[in-house]
Structure 1
Amino acid sequence: MITATDLEVRAGARTLLAAPGDALRVAPGDRIGLVGRNGAGKTTTLRILAGETQPYAGHIRSSGPIGYLPQDPKEGDLDVLAKNRVLSARGLDEILAAMARQQGYMEAAFDDKHRDKAIAKYSRLEERFAALGGYVAESDAARICNSLGLPDRVLAQPLHTLSGGQRRRIELARILFGASDGSGKSDMTLLLDEPTNHLDADSIHWLREFLQNHEGGLIVISHDVDLLADVVNRVWFLDAVRGEADVYNMGWTRYLDARATDEQRRKRERANAEKKASALRTQAAKLGAKATKAAAAHQMIRRAERMMEELDEVRVDDKTAHIRFPEPAACGRTPLTAKELTKVYGSLEIFTGVDLAIDKGSRVVVLGLNGAGKTTLLRLLAGTEEPDLGEVIPGYGLKLGYFAQEHDTLDDEATVWENIRHLAPDAGEQDLRGLLGAFMFTGPQLEQPAGTLSGGEKTRLALAGLVSSAANVLLLDEPTNNLDPISREQVLGALRSYTGAVVLVTHDPGAAAALDPERVILLPDGTEDHWSDEYQEIIELA
């Protein structure tokens, strides 16, 4: 259970949320959808509830375990096996490692005394392992992983060999494994920020059922409307206009109707109050001309002011980023070529001998199963990672723009302003301020550290850097992740009108359709083919 008391959330000097009293409470059985436009403070609020950061004011009380999935998990030791990372949710990884050490001691013992000592320690560890569910728990972990599209071969690999999407699913599996005894019964409170990112349709369906059956508390941030409709029984709406949280103790469909009714009520109340206030001011002006009526006129003016102050702000249309890629810089016929690209992590071969030529203005989609090397290929093309064999050859006039799925191009410690200055060092200050304004970064937000931004805000900042670059080849790795529907449409519109070359990795069928690609690269084989409706259907089914 979690209770936030007199919570105030700020990003720099900007107040995101003020929630007096104990309005924000999570009890067992509560399945809460935390919603609001990008930048409203959803991710920051979730981090505070998880204990990852402190609120500006107020305090958080929690009882029972918490399982927190951030948008950008920081896994720590990337040399650990994926399987052991999942098992660590119940402490089983350390016990298994200790059992393996004692087995080694038993085999290496040079006398009965040392062997018996190792056997005794092994037996005690095995008893503890069994008490925590033992091999049944291992099977449960494997079941959860497989349901999230993580087969045994992936679980046997170190984390550093996995794609960003696979690592995020490992983190989700670890949290769900910690919250489950195999039946979904748990007192754990789950705090999940965009849990369906990188999941295919079957995994999303399984996750919905898991969350529906979870008996602990749940807060979920998601742009997956179907998941919200199927899972949540309460909604917290963070209103970015008023800086408040509206709590709706109802499911998603009823919430949509109730919120629309509330907005209409606020508009009517404001219209009526403005009409009355205007009449009071008119009457005060008439009385004010007479010295004997000055006091009465002053009281009327104060009454009109109080009437307006007591009103809730009327919701205005959400601001949207105005995204448009500029005319790309001049370049040769084939600005980017790759020959015999090969990438290997340890004994794991990601792909081998991949060739491709990106012609001026060409539009290419990279397809493959999770872990096939899509993100790795873009990193090689961007020069942020080196191939083990082969080479990337820049053509005449090449100007690359790279959008990283994990926002690797941003410095979390630097401010929004410092990041855009780094991404566009040759641009003028006024041009950059205007650009950031078009991407909805203004005033105090410019001094906000990038690490405190939501996933959607990081996406907008990274895209602003691309817009400032006048790139003629864009490498885009899941550019629509974490975006609200309005911002997503802005990105898709920019893709449609961009005249440079694009290499796109996406699970979003709308992004592929907006790009209107000519070719597809299939990984891990590196096979090239003409784009067809068949490939569009593959993305839609993924």
Structure 2
Amino acid sequence: MITATGLELRAGTRILLADTTLRLHAGDRVGLVGRNGAGKTTTLRVLAGEGQPYAGSITATGPVGYLPQDPREGDLDVIAKDRVLSARGLDRMLSDLEKVQIQMAELSGGQLEAATARYGRLEERFSTLGGYAAEAEAARICSNLGLPDRVLAQPMRTLSGGQRRRVELARILFGASTENGESGTMLLLDEPTNHLDHDSIVWLRDYLRLFTGGVVIISHDVDLLAAVVNKVWFLDAVRGELDAYNMSWSRYLEARATDEQRRRRERANAEKKASALMQQAAKLGAKATKAAAAHQMVRRAEKLVSSLDDVRVADRVAKIRFPAPAPCGRTPLTAQNLSKAYGSLEVFAGVDLAIDKGSRVVILGFNGAGKTTLLKLIGGLEKPDTGEVTPGHGLRLGYFAQEHDTIDPDRTVWENTRSASPDTGAQELRNLLGAFMFKGEQLDQPAGTLSGGEKTRLALAGLVSSAANVLLLDEPTNNLDPASREQVLDALRRYEGAVVLVTHDPGAVQALAPERVILLPDGTEDHWSAEYQELIELA
């Protein structure tokens, strides 16, 4: 169980949550919802013990598995399979067993007997932890999350951000599983479906729906919330309060709408009564003999209004519009014979492409095929093993990284945007950031403290200010609420420059209306057709 008492969370001087008590029990499957920037990620991080509250206390009885939005760095030299097995200490046990086996082959006599006895003790402990059946269980979880054996055999540093995140999710789920299905683990999952294909998302829904421990999920995947949650915590950014609903997702949506209507009615009635009291007080105040009564009416009117909850206004969304791209030649970007390998693992080879002015291209391939890697090569963030990328006349690149690699977490919102557009005037830059819902003290907030949705908005603001004529977009709709996602898709539809897109979002592909597709790992180029649209979720 996790218990939070007197919890207060802040972002600078802004109160995200005030004097709140929360309890997560085994069997609770909670959807933590609220608009981008309301403090969902901060709340989850504090509940996981990885952040400190401004006030209050957090206690946890039993293990806690926490999946942050950004992949954990950790030891990048560890093998991915060992990272998963480490959730139960099996990685060390297997390593010790292998070492003793090697020793036994080289020993004899009394030394062999001692080594054999040690091997027996280690094997007994290994069996207690689940043994080879647990190892097979870990393999099943990894397979269901789209992690094949060839990926699990690689060091973590060679994996993409999405692959590392899936390894971390597999590790958390493996650590929470037990042989009989009972678990006291509390799972805190921040956007767990990011980087998962359709089959993996369906499997995860079933896993969480049957999980017997406690779960808190932040997700913009409405289908996931509808299938899994039996409670909802709504974090209201207007009031700085958390409303708890002990019901399913569909019933929550109805109850939430009813609550908002009730608050509006109460506010309207109170304002009407307060207005009448103020008018009456104004009449009485003109008479000296009734000044005290008038003063009482004013205080009553003020108290009546101040005692009510603020009415939740419609959530603001970023006003995303890509400006006219800078002039460029007919083919602003070409690449020949690109290949990339990590050690003995070849990701892809022999990729050629030509990005014409205003063209629209989708890079398609299954997880691990090298889609993000190819974008990084094109964008100059990594160097190819063979081949070269050649900029054409007037090329101005804009790159959106799915893991927000282009954002410096130690610099402020203002500093990040200023570095992305050094030639933009200060007031123009403030206006731009305001359109992306960054203003006031938020401009001085370190980018590393932003939520995933806020980082996405900040990265997009940098793209907008760049006047790029070729956009490289890697999962640009991840972490966005539905309203902000629609703004991004609308901006894609209207953009006049060239776009190279990697996404699992079918809506993003429809908005782009691509002309061509590049299939990885083969590097084959083809004209876009409806049959490729069906592969987007599967890839």
User: Shorter chain as normaliser: what TM range?
Assistant: over 0.9
Contact 1:341 1:355 (8 Å CA) reproduced: yes
Q: Does 1:214 align with 2:227?
A: no
Q: Could you say which residue in structure 2 is the equivalent of 1:350?
A: 347
Question: Are the equivalent residues in 2 in contact too, given 1:7–1:58 (CA < 8 A)?
Answer: yes
Q: Does 1:524 align with 2:529?
A: no
Equivalent-residue separation in structure 2 for 1:93 and 1:356 (angstroms) = 42
- Alignment check: 8 A CA contact 1:519 1:531 kept: yes
CA contact (8 A) 1:43 1:193 kept: yes
What corresponds to 1:294 in structure 2? Answer: 291
Aligned to 1:2: 2
Q: Is the 8 A contact 1:355 1:526 kept in 2?
A: yes
Count of aligned pairs: 539
Which one-letter code corresponds to 2:372 in the other structure? T
Residues 1:512 and 2:509 are matched in the alignment: yes
Q: Where does residue 383 of structure 1 map in the other structure?
A: 380
Rounded Cα–Cα distance in structure 2 between residues aligned with 1:403 and 1:465: 9
Deviation at 1:229, TM superposition (A): 1.0
CA–CA distance in 2 between the matches of 1:32 and 1:251? 9
- State the partner residue of 1:14: 14
Equivalence for 1:282: 279
Counterpart code for 2:50 = E
Moved more, 532-541 or 395-404: 532-541
CA gap 1:182/1:151 in 2 versus in 1, 3 angstroms:
farther
Question: 1:285, 1:201 → 2: CA distance?
Answer: 65
* Mapped pair 1:175 → 2:172: yes
Structure 1 residues 310 and 383, CA, compared in 2 at 3 Å: closer, same or farther?
A: same
Q: Which amino acid aligns with 1:441?
A: F
Deviation string, structure 1 residues 46-72 (Cα, Å, up to 9, x no partner): 000000010111111111000000111
Gaps of 5+ in 1: none
CA contact (8 A) 2:325 2:467 kept: yes
1:404 corresponding residue in structure 2:
401
Other-structure match for 2:86: 88
User: Which position in structure 2 is the counterpart of 1:255?
Assistant: 252
User: Contact 1:414–1:450 (CA<8 Å) still a contact in 2?
Assistant: yes
Letter in 2 for 1:119: T
**Contact residue 14 and residue 445 of structure 1 kept, 8 A:** no
Counterpart residue number, 2:450:
453
Deviation at 1:106, TM superposition (A): 2.7
Measured in 2, the distance between the counterparts of 1:75 and 1:434 equals 35
Q: Is the 8 A contact 1:325 1:498 kept in 2?
A: yes
2-structure distance, mates of 1:145, 1:62: 28
Q: Partners of 1:182 and 1:95 in 2: how far apart? A: 18
Match of 1:163 in 2: 160
Q: Deviation digits for residues 453-507 of structure 1, max 9, x if unmatched? A: 1111100000000001000110000000011100000000000000011000000
Given that residues 361 and 515 in structure 2 are in contact (C-alpha distance below 8 angstroms), is that contact kept between their aligned partners in structure 1? yes
Kept in 2: contact 1:163–1:370 (CA 8 A): no
Which string of whole-angstrom CA distances, capped at 9 and with x for unpartnered residues, describes residues 71-125 of structure 1?
112131122111111101001111111222222333344x544444433332222
Counterpart of 2:42 in structure 1: which amino acid? Answer: T
Query: How many angstroms does 1:165 deviate by?
Result: 1.7
Residue 476 of structure 1 corresponds to 473
Q: Which of 291, 299, 315 is 1:318 aligned to? A: 315
Structure 2 match to 1:73: 71
Residue 104 (structure 2) pairs with residue 106 (structure 1): yes
Looking at structure 2, the residues matched to 350 and 50 of structure 1 have their Cα atoms a distance apart, in angstroms, of 35
| Residues 382-401 of structure 1 deviation map (CA, whole Å, 9 limit, x = unaligned) | 11111111111111111110
Instruction: Give the match for residue 35 of structure 2.
Output: 37
Contact 1:234–1:248 (CA under 8 A) maintained in structure 2: yes
Q: Find the aligned partners of 2:473 and 2:114 in 1 and give their Cα distance.
A: 57
Q: Could you report, residue by residue, the CA deviation over 1:353-391 in whole angstroms, capped at 9, with x for unpaired residues? A: 110011111110000010000000000011111111111
From 123, 141, 144, give the equivalent of 2:141.
144
Q: Quick one: which of 367, 383, 392 aligns to 2:389?
A: 392
Are 1:420 and 2:417 an aligned pair? yes
Secondary structure in 2 matching 1:320: coil
Aligned residue identity for 1:262? D
The letter of the residue matching 2:57 is H
Specify the alignment match of 2:227 in structure 1.
230
Q: In 1, Cα distance between the equivalents of 2:211 and 2:483?
A: 31
Contact 2:366 2:538 (C-alpha < 8 Å) held by counterparts = no
Separation in 1, partners of 2:111, 2:308: 79
User: Which of 42, 55, 58 pairs up with 1:57?
Assistant: 55
Cα deviation, residue 202, structure 1: 1.6
TM-score by length of 2: 0.98
Conservation of the 8 A alpha-carbon contact between 1:82 and 1:170: yes
Q: How many Å separate the matches in 2 of 1:268 and 1:481?
A: 36
TM-score, scaled to structure 1: 0.98
* 1:28 partner amino acid: A
Identity of matched residues, %: 75
Measured after TM superposition, the shift of residue 541 of structure 1 is 4.4
> Could you list the runs of 5+ residues in structure 2 that have no partner in the other structure?
none
- The answer to whether the aligner puts 1:369 opposite 2:366 as a matched pair is yes
Cα distance in structure 2, aligned partners of 1:418 and 1:115: 64
- Counterpart of 2:185 in structure 1 is 188
Equivalent residue, structure 1, for 2:44: 46
- Residue of structure 1 aligned with 2:261, choices 244, 260, 264: 264
Q: Distance in 1 between matches of 2:57 and 2:262?
A: 32
Contact 1:184 1:210 in 2 (8 A): no
* Per-residue Cα deviation, 1:170-212 (whole angstroms, up to 9, x for no partner): 1111111011114532000000011111112221111111111
Asked if 2 retains the 8 angstrom alpha-carbon contact of 1:474 and 1:502, the reply is yes
Would you say 1:490 and 2:523 are equivalent positions?
A: no
**Structure 1: how far apart are the matches of 2:180 and 2:515?**
47
Query: Alignment partner for residue 497 of structure 2, among 496, 500, 503?
Result: 500
**Worse-superposed segment, 91-100 or 502-511:** 91-100
Match of 2:194 in 1: 197
Q: Distance in 2 between matches of 1:261 and 1:202?
A: 35
Aligned mate of 2:118, from 97, 116, 121: 121
Q: Which amino acid aligns with 2:73?
A: E
Question: Aligned-residue CA RMSD in angstroms?
Answer: 1.2
- Partner of 1:409: helix, strand, or coil? coil
Contact 1:19 1:245 in 2 (8 A): no
Task: Tell me the CA shift for residue 429 of structure 1.
Answer: 1.1
In structure 2, distance between residues paired with 1:317 and 1:192: 27
Report the AA paired with residue 25 of structure 1: R
Q: Work out the CA distance in 1 between the residues paired with 2:460 and 2:401.
A: 10
d(CA) in 2 for partners of 1:423, 1:353: 32
